[in-house]
Amino acid sequence: MRPAEPQEDRLLTLLRVGRIYAPEPLEANDILIADGRIAALGRDLEIPAGWPVRVVEARHLTAVPAFIDQHVHVTGGGGEGGCGTRCPEITAYEIASMGIGTVVGVLGTDSISRSPADLLAKVRGLRAEGISAYMYTGAYRVPPPTLTGDLQRDLAWIPEVIGLGELAISDHRSSQPRQDEIERIVSDTRVGAMLAGKLGICHFHLGDGKRGLEPLRRLLSETEIPAEQVIPTHVNRHRDLLEEAADYALTFDANVDVTAFDDADEDDLSGFGAVSRLLRRGVPVERITMSSDCNGSLPGFDDRGAYIGMRVAGNTTLIADWQRLVREEVLPLEQALGLISGNVARVLGLHASKGRLAIGFDADVTLLDSQLQPQQTFVAGKCLYDVNHTES
C-alpha cells in the first residue's frame, strides 16, 4: 500500500537563493520554512532523508523581507464624483505581484456605500487567499464609523483591527474635526489598543489645506499622547507640506509616511523625491515609511472645490520609486528595505513577527532579480506569486 502524500501545509520549504538581506546582508544563502515560519538560515542546509520538503532553486535571486503596504483601499476608494467613480477592489494576486506580503486596509472619503464591515470581510477574504491583511477602523469622517459602535471595542475585540484610519485633516473632504475631537479619538484608540496588546496607530490623511500638520503638532505638544501613536500620510502632497513634515519629524522624533503618488506633479513630490528630500533635511531613515494608497482615488478639483475628474491609484509606483532610491544610490539596499518592510512593521506594532528574515519570524519572503523586480512572493511560506506563472 502506498504511503499517503504529505499534506501541502505539512511540507517543509527550502529556498536556495543567491543572497539574503534580512535586511542586513547575511552569510546565509538558504532559508528553511516550517509551519509558516522561518526555521533555519544557513549555507547549503541539508535536510534529513525522508523529510517532506519542497526545494525552490533560486540561486540567481536575492531574498528580502516581503514588503508591507500600510495604506491600501482593498475595497476600492473614490466616489467623490458619484457612484460611477467608485474604484475597484484589489486582488491578492495584484498585491503579491509587487512583492507585498502584508497590507493594511483603509476606508477613505466614502464610508457610506462602503463600511468597516465590508472592509473586514475583504480583509478576511485576502487572508483566506494567503495575504497577511489587517485594517484600520474608521474613515475620513468624525465620528468615525466602527464595527461595534465603539472605537475601543473594535480594537479590543476584532483581531484584524490594528488602529484607526484614515482620519482626514486639512482637507475640504474632512469633517473639519475640532482639536478636542482629535484628541479624544486618538486617546480612545490608544486605550482600546492597550486592552488588546496592540500599538493602536492613528493613521491621518493630510490634504492640501492651510492648516497642514498643525493639528498633530498641537496633539503632541499639548497632550501626553506619544508620537509613535500617530502616522501622518500623504505628507508629500505639496512642497510646503513636505517641508513641514520634515520639521515635524525632527521636532517630535516622529514617523512620517510618504505616498508613492501615481500623478505627482513634480519629481520632487514623487515617492522618490520626497524620501530624498526628507533625508537631506536630516530626518532619520528609520522615521520614514512609504505606502501606495493603492486602489484609492486620485480626484481632481477646481479652485472652488468642484470635482472635475479622477484616476485610480496603483501599487506599481511604490515599487518603482523604491527601486529608484537604491539604483540612484540615495540609500543602500539594507536601509531602503526599511521604508517598505522593517520600518513599517515597527510603526504598526508588527515587528515581533514581520519586517525581518530571522528564525521564528513569519516566512514572508520576496525574491528579487538583479533589477530589484519581484520574481516570487512567499507569505507564511506559501508562494502567492511567481513571475513564471500567470494568475489562475
pLDDT at 220 over 70: yes
189 is in an annotated binding site: no
Counted domains in the chain: 2
pLDDT of residue 304: 66
CA-to-CA distance for 236 and 249, rounded, in angstroms? Answer: 13
- The reply to whether 271 and 363 lie within a common domain is no
Give yes or no: residues 268 and 291 share one domain. yes
Marked catalytic residue, from 257, 293, 362, 364: 293
Does the annotation place 293 within a ligand binding site? yes
Query: Would 1 be classed as within a structural domain?
Result: no
- Strands of 53-65's sheet in order across: 37-42, 30-34, 12-20, 53-65, 365-368, 374-379, 382-386
- pLDDT bucket at 371, cuts 50 / 70 / 90: very high
Assign 145 a pLDDT band (cuts: 50, 70, 90): very high
Output the pLDDT for position 357: 98
- Answer whether residue 2 is part of any domain: no
Question: Would you say 314 is a known binding-site residue?
Answer: no
What's the confidence (pLDDT) of residue 85?
Answer: 65
Answer yes or no: do 207 and 283 share one domain.
yes
- Residue 172 assigned as binding residue: no
pLDDT over 50 (residue 1): no
How far is it, in rounded angstroms, from Cα 35 to Cα 130?
14
82 and 132 housed in the same domain = yes
Residue 75 belongs to domain with CATH number: 3.20.20.140
Q: pLDDT tens across 296-321, in order? A: 566 555 566 665 555 556 678 999 99
User: Do the domain assignments include residue 226?
Assistant: yes
Structural domain containing residue 78: 67-348
What is the side-by-side order of every strand in the sheet holding 132-137? 67-72, 100-105, 132-137, 161-169, 201-206, 230-233, 256-259, 288-291
Predicted local distance difference test score (pLDDT) of residue 298:
60
pLDDT level of residue 50 (50, 70, 90 thresholds): confident
Task: CATH number of the domain at 22, please.
Answer: 2.30.40.10
Arithmetic mean of pLDDT, 171-189: 95
- Does 188 carry a binding-site annotation? no
pLDDT at residue 94 is higher than 90: yes
Please check if 238 is assigned to a binding site. no
State the number of CA atoms in the 13 A half-sphere of 241 facing the CB: 26
Determine the length of the chain: 392
Please check the confidence at residue 294 and state whether its pLDDT lies above 60: yes
Please, which pLDDT band fits residue 323 given cuts at 50, 70 and 90? very high
- 78 has pLDDT over 70: no
Q: Tens digit of pLDDT for each residue in 258-277? A: 999 876 667 889 999 999 99
Cα–Cα distance for residue pair 228/216, rounded to 1 Å: 12
- Whether residue 47 lies inside any domain: the answer is yes
Are 171 and 295 within one domain? yes
One domain for residues 106 and 237: yes
Same domain flag for 254 and 287:
yes
Does residue 5 sit within a domain?
no
Domain check: are 96 and 231 in the same one? yes
pLDDT: which is higher, 108 or 168: 168
Same domain as 381, residue 262: no
Is 293 marked active-site?
yes
- Same domain? For 274 and 312 the reply is yes
| Per-residue pLDDT, 3 | 36
Q: How many helices (H) and strands (E) does the chain have?
A: 10, 17
Q: Tens digit of pLDDT for each residue in 7-41? A: 555 689 999 999 999 999 999 999 999 999 999 99
In tens, the pLDDT along 157-168 reads 999 999 999 999
The pTM of the full predicted model, rounded to 2 decimals, is 0.92
Cell numbers for 383: 508562494
* Rounded Cα gap, residues 157 and 375, in angstroms: 37
Q: Among 43-57, 80-94, 165-179, whose mean pLDDT is lowest? A: 80-94
> Do 127 and 60 share a domain, yes or no?
no
In a domain, 392, yes or no: no
Same domain? 183 vs 305 = yes
337 inside domain: yes
pLDDT score for 330? 97
321 is in an annotated binding site: no
4 has a pLDDT exceeding 60 = no
Residue 200 marked ligand-binding: no
- Whether residue 168 lies inside any domain: the answer is yes
Q: Is 54 annotated as a binding residue?
A: no
